[in-house]
């Protein structure tokens, strides 16, 4: 099983990143939000906030986020999965 962690979406909106994480959790995909510390809550737009999943879940996670964003086209999601540093 591949436990490598990758980024499947990126935004500057902590609320949107949290919604994506909850969407993935509802589908059985464990996701974490990177950068969700007090700086982002107090000063939105300070930089990218990534949603990370196991690489084995990345394709399905990206599909779910893309489907959700089809309903909300004003998001700033990234379409490229990237490996976590």
| Segment 23-77, tens digit of pLDDT | 999 999 999 998 645 454 555 556 788 999 999 999 999 999 999 988 655 544 4
Q: What is the pLDDT of residues 30-40, one digit of tens each?
A: 999 986 454 54
**Phi and psi at residue 27, in whole multiples of 5°?**
-100, 10
Q: Sketch out the chain's domains with CATH numbers.
A: 5-78 (3.30.70.790)
Phi, then psi, of 79 in degrees rounded to 5 = -95, -5
- Whole-structure pTM value: 0.71
CA angle 61, 64, 66 (to 5 degrees): 105
């Amino acid at each position: 099983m591949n436990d490598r962690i990758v980024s499947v979406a990126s935004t500057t909106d902590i609320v949107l990143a949290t919604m994506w994480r909850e969407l993935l959790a509802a589908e059985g995909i464990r996701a974490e939000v990177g950068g969700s510390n007090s700086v982002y809550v107090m000063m939105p737009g300070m930089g990218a906030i990534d949603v990370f999943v196991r690489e084995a879940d990345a394709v399905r996670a990206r599909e779910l986020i893309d489907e959700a964003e089809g309903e909300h086209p004003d998001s700033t999601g990234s379409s490229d999965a990237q490996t976590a540093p």
